[in-house]
Amino acid sequence: MTPIQLHTYQTPNGHKASIMLEETGLPYQVHVVDIEHGDQHKPGFLALNPNNKIPVIVDPDQNRTVVESGAILTYLARRSGHFVPASEEDRQVALQWLLFQAAHVGPTLGQLWNYKVFAPDKIPYVIGRFEKETARVLNVLDGELGKRGFLAGDSYGVADIMTWPWINAGVRHLGVDLGAYPHLGRWFEAIGARPAVQRGLAVPALGDAPHA
Ligand SMILES: N[C@@H](CCC(=O)N[C@@H](CS)C(=O)NCC(=O)O)C(=O)O
């Protein structure tokens, strides 16, 4: 198989795709899109994703370009035959929690990161709003993980791979304390110990090809 081409950067959304590639064992090559220096606005990258965001994958053998991490994860699940839920009902539940990440977890923690860490003016109302919303979203995840082992059932899958990198970013960069969320904490530790997750987190690495 021709390696899948992964266009990415060291961020939670990028890590979803690299962790999934590591978990499935599909061959891939990395292209670094330095979003801190504007690579995502270059014509070569915009031709892949007009929405100027990483991650993007190109699957040369299938002549397919896929953008949006949720679409990338479900594409790679089908492509590899790994993490494809067995029944229609299981597929629907996996999709539900995958979309919960895309609609709530990522945007909420992303905005908190922006206003708490990067904003030149720290606006207490805005930071407070996203801190409250972060606590609400983490509480939802903790409640669900109190009922079963993983987000969409008893086995690890795409909804977990979609969500874990953002919880990791919350813990590492935003002062999120998982002590208040014991079920989420148990899930976070278990997934973080997976070798494929550790390998995926190290992507891109120094020396990976820059995006053309
Ligand atoms: N909904 C998108 C979000 C992707 C996203 O926000 N990527 C960020 C990095 S984590 C990015 O490329 N930002 C560059 C920019 O906005 O210019 C996904 O899930 O793939």
CA 166 – CA 9 distance, rounded (Å): 14
**For the CA of 14, the nearest atom of ligand 1:** 10
- Predicted local confidence at residue 207, as pLDDT: 79
Q: What is the pLDDT of residue 210?
A: 80
Nearest-atom index, ligand 1, CA of 33: 12
What is the enclosing helix (H) or strand (E) of 158? helix 158-173
pLDDT (average), residues 100-117: 98
57 CB contacts (<8 Å, ≥6 apart)?
A: 4, 5, 6, 7, 17, 28, 65, 66, 72, 75, 76
Task: Give the C-alpha separation, 18 to 181, whole Å.
Answer: 26
Please determine, for residue 212, whether its predicted confidence score (pLDDT) is greater than 70: no
pLDDT of residue 209: 81
188 C-beta neighbours (distance < 10 Å), count: 21
pLDDT at 194 over 80: yes
13 pLDDT exceeds 80? Answer: yes
User: Is pLDDT of 201 > 70?
Assistant: yes
Domains of the chain and CATH, by start: 4-83+197-210 (3.40.30.10), 88-194 (1.20.1050.10)
**Cβ(8) to ligand 1 under 6 A?**
no
Residues 57 and 7 sit within 8 Å (Cβ to Cβ): yes
For the segment 135-185, what is each residue's pLDDT rounded down to a tens digit?
A: 999 999 999 999 999 999 999 999 999 999 999 999 999 999 999 999 999
Report the mean per-residue pLDDT for the chain: 97
> Does the Cβ of 68 fall within 6 Å of ligand 1?
yes
For Cα atoms 53, 202, 199, give the angle at the middle one, nearest 5 degrees: 115
Ligand 1 contacts CB of residue 74 (under 6 A): no
Whether 79 contacts 28, CB under 8 Å: no
In whole angstroms, give the CA distance from residue 96 to residue 93. Answer: 5
Q: How far is the CA of 104 from the centre of ligand 1 (A)?
A: 14
Q: Measure 87 CA to ligand 1 centroid, in angstroms.
A: 31
Question: What pLDDT is recorded for position 208?
Answer: 83
Work out the burial of residue 1: count CB atoms within 10 Å of its CB; fewer than 13 is exposed, 13-18 middle, 19 or more buried: exposed
Mutate to test the pocket of ligand 1, among 11, 13, 20 (most ligand atoms within 8 A of CB): 13
Q: pLDDT per residue over 36-55, tens digit each?
A: 999 999 999 999 999 999 99
pTM: 0.97
